[in-house]
Structure 1
């Protein structure tokens, strides 16, 4: 395994890109990564990871995370070559859900996925990109079985992931699980302490990452011509790049008062940080990073929205909690989509089967993490005024 020794040798990251690529090739039997554009971001990330404060088990887990994206990249590149006709197919008017984390993006995404007019990228296909097989074949698929085993182990270690994010191997997953094939992703600084990578990432034009993401969608949907339903909260940060690649996208942005959402984000991410850092997880540090990042992301999104009036439909978290189907009807009406009786019935059945858990109603405050409510209000003053929270 290169940098992981069974005898207890510490995992190292700096300078190991070639070793990781060789290991990914060994696991897949593939060697074509589809270019070298990922080298720079991966090197910057690796150079930060040795100082990320991992526990011994967390370092191994982080390494496996990186290998997972490298093997997915290899699998996807191979798939692109095997599906030349699919790679030419345009992605027309995808419906994209974005917004600050903990503002209902997951629930809205899952609810909309009940409409059979949409296709989405299921969790297991994000880990092993390939043309989506018939659903009856999934249980017997080795890639499905492996993805399920890995996800089950993660949920066993951090059950909050299931409670808060509704993760399941056979349901639609957010775009954040495909975008890291380019190693330009908010996933890394949100889960790891990588300040140099974080600064570098924020200064990048992410268009190439979304172009590769679009190719992954073409591969997964090679035999399916339905409209794409996508979701990624941090598309708010990269909205211009999203529109560069999907210029006719129908975008839904969910909103929630940052006074509630930011502490809730930290509670969610704390579970991931504890998986990698154990009791050394710096929860106040997580808060500081997320508070600042999301202020930047929401400000960027508002500037792009102002330049593209009507392309983004705003949904208030409180309105969605009170009347989910009513919000869906408003979204469909805004974009000229048809809500069939079949789709509405499936959505109502999903809502009945997935009631909002009381634990997710728990309220956290900035003070719980050593920060100030007044400081948060000041940082988000423009956003809170624009969307009626102040």
Structure 2
């Protein structure tokens, strides 16, 4: 598989482990569980590798870091503010650009509930201190950086936050976050904030006046807007208010799996009609379907095909929402804070330990492309959905 220009750097290598920071046992990167490789012929595998080599590959939403092997220690781990980037594993992922969502942007340095202003800046600063000591992963600030990553064998990292909760009522804080490198941002997470309603709320009040000001400022700055966790009306309002196309970076179709976490056709159409892109996700127990109630790549791709048929191949991409470690265990640990349990609303399905075929960032795009190749998709369409569509939107959003 395609490998990037990786020189062996390990996270926080410039410090003394055990002295400058606490050591946590981490899981193995890519063989933690027996996630299967999509079966293809030798000819199809050669085509898969060529497509990954020749085309821009963009993950609209991932967490390219490790979580502790003992997930119960996640709060201790996160309070250090030193999330461990999986440098070696990412060098084998086939990705050129990844939207790194900084553990949702919640940050847990001083708070068990997260989204505190100083904590978020602490997280952003600490990660960038580590990145500054190596030259494989390059923070992306503008469109030219994406082109350079592909040409130079680097992996571009787009700093992203899943909500603007931490700005409170201070619109200028968006400028500060931009200065800290944030280039993609949600307006609201599952719980409502001063800007709009989250998807777990029973009543969606839509985008507030303050929220409209925030959207306008994000447009002015050049911050891509994400509505993955916003309520339905709030999502539609944001798409209509924004002067630039927006993203649903990681979700699926509610027509296939009736939970608030999935987007209804009305939201998908509104985002697409205004030039945006819907990224299909693969976090455990999200993109299920009646046909595929055991979560695997087949259910994820059923959501992909539904959205592509609904709004066209120009408006769909992938935001797998994967990480290195026990993602299901992480959901259990954060169930209360992040509203994970609330989004299922009584639906029954067989629980899984991992999403077969899409378990971690290293295997996601090679398996996605294998699936698309084996199902007869053209090179042009594959190029669009694995990165071309995302780049088109960013060309209109970033300044």
TM-score, length-normalised on structure 2? 0.27
Q: Which has the bigger relative contact order, CA under 8 A and spacing at least 6?
A: 1
Whichever structure has more helix as a proportion of its residues is 1
Greater C-alpha Rg: 1
